[in-house]
Structure 1
Amino acid sequence: MIKILHVAAIAGLIGSAVWAYSIKYETIRQTEELARLERAIEREREMIAVLRAEWAFLNRPDRVETLADAHLPEVVPFSVEHLARFEDLPDRPPDADEIGAKLQALGLGAPTATPGTTGSVPRATATTPTTRTPAR
């Protein structure tokens, strides 16, 4: 009986040692992955800083003014004469039903009788299942 307990204790000791080493190496791998990601984030931040500096350089007012003068000679500066009053705007045209107007022009605008209706209940509603509201 004691030999079985010794074997079980040794097996437990070996199992816990294997588990501890696997946790250790997994932690080392995770730490290396974290360091790699932090380096990648820092590189991206540096690239963003460079792009912001380039954007600021390209958007200098003197450069934009030179480009606007060269490529947009017909653009005039904004003045008060460009503003319009609300009363000067034209009225909105009425909403038109183009399809309805075409049907009226063809003489098809009048209401039609549904074929196959004999009696008080039309055929289409007789085959439609009814829905019931649940009782409370």
Structure 2
Amino acid sequence: MKSVLYLLTTLIVMGLAFWAYRENYRTQATISEMSNVQRQIGGLREDLGVLRAEWAYLNRPDRLRELVNLNFSRLKLVPFTADQFVDVGQVAFPPPVQPKADGGDPADQVPRPAWYPPRRPKESTP
């Protein structure tokens, strides 16, 4: 009986050692993968910083002013003036959509641009 108990204990210890060995390597692989991801994130943050610096450099007011002056004949860009702004009450909004008499969807009555895909007919459920 003792020998069976010793054999069983030895097998359990060997099984636990094998499990711990596998978990150790799986943990090391996960840590390595995490460090690779962290390295990628760091590289992407550096790239983002470079892109933001380039964007700030390209959007300098003096550079944009020079571009506007060079292309004034085509763009005709001028500074904003106070008389270009209007009160909200002066904006012509479209009239509100009235629902159909048969209780249909008001969205079906809104005019659509010619390039917009046609509406699909609604399927009736029995």
Residues 52-71 of structure 1 mapped to structure 2, 5 A cutoff: 52-71=52-71
User: Which blocks of at least 5 consecutive residues in structure 1 are unaligned?
Assistant: 98-136
User: How much has 1:16 moved relative to structure 2?
Assistant: 0.8
Match of 2:36, SS state, is helix
Please give the TM-score of this superposition, normalised by the length of structure 2. Answer: 0.63
1:18 matched to 2:18? The reply is yes
Match of 2:78, SS state, is coil
Please give the TM-score of this superposition, normalised by the length of structure 1. Answer: 0.59
Matching residue of 2:109? none
Matching residue of 2:79? 77
User: Which blocks of at least 5 consecutive residues in structure 2 are unaligned?
Assistant: 99-126
1:35 matched to 2:53? The reply is no
Matched residue type, 2:47: M
Label 1:95 to 1:2 Cα distance change in 2 as closer, same or farther (>3 A). closer
Match of 1:22, SS state, is helix
Matching residue of 2:6? 6
CA RMSD of aligned residues (A): 3.0
1:27-84 deviation per Cα after TM superposition (whole angstroms, max 9, x unaligned): 1111101110110000000000100110011011111001111223423333334345
Matching residue of 1:119? none
What percent of counterpart residues are identical?
A: 34
Q: How many residues align?
A: 98
Q: Which moved more, 1:51-60 or 1:67-76?
A: 67-76
Label 1:85 to 1:38 Cα distance change in 2 as closer, same or farther (>3 A). closer
User: How much has 1:93 moved relative to structure 2?
Assistant: 8.4
Match of 2:33, SS state, is helix
User: How much has 1:3 moved relative to structure 2?
Assistant: 1.6
Larger radius of gyration: 1
Q: In the aligned structure 2, how far is the partner of 1:37 from the partner of 1:95?
A: 53
Runs (4+) off by over 6 Å: 90-97
